[in-house]
Amino acid sequence: MEIVIKKTQLSIIQGDITLEETDAIVNAANTTLRGGGGVDGAIHRAGGPTILEECVTKYPQGCETGGVRTTNGGLLKAKWIIHTLGPIWHRGSQNEPVLLENSYRNTFHQAERIGATSISYPSISTGIYGFPMQKAAPIAIETVLSCLPSNSIQEVHFVLFSNRSERLTQIGQLGTIWKNHS
Q: Which helix (H) or strand (E) holds 81?
A: strand 80-84
One residue of 25, 26, 28, 139 binding ligand ADP per CB under 6 A: 28
Q: Which residues are 59's β-sheet partners?
A: none
101 counts as binding ligand ADP under rule CB under 6 A: no
137 counts as binding ligand ADP under rule CB under 6 A: no
Whole-angstrom distance, CA of residue 70 vs CA of residue 21: 17
Active site residue 16: no
Q: Which stretch binds ligand ADP (CB under 6 A): 93-101, 106-114, 157-165, 167-175?
A: 157-165
For residues 86 and 172, which CB has a smaller minimum distance to ligand ADP in the complex? 86
Cis peptide before 49 (omega within 30 of 0): no
Query: Interface mask (CB under 6 A) for ligand ADP, residues 72-91, using x and -?
Result: --------------x-----
120 counts as binding ligand ADP under rule CB under 6 A: no
Q: What is the DSSP letter of 136?
A: H
Identity at 159, one-letter amino acid code: V
Per annotation, catalytic residue among 40, 96, 101, 166: 40
Q: Which stretch binds ligand ADP (CB under 6 A): 13-21, 52-60, 93-101, 106-114?
A: 13-21
For β-strands 155-160 and 118-121, DSSP reports them as parallel
17 counts as binding ligand ADP under rule CB under 6 A: yes
Helix axes 49-58, 38-47, angle to 10 degrees: 110
Report helix, strand or coil for 134.
Answer: helix
Report helix, strand or coil for 10.
Answer: strand
Minimum Å distance from CB 77 to ligand ADP? 14
60 neighbors 33 (Cβ within 8 angstroms): no
One residue of 10, 24, 25, 39 binding ligand ADP per CB under 6 A: 39
Residue ranges binding ligand ADP (CB under 6 A): 16-18, 28, 38-40, 42, 86, 122-129, 159, 161-162, 165
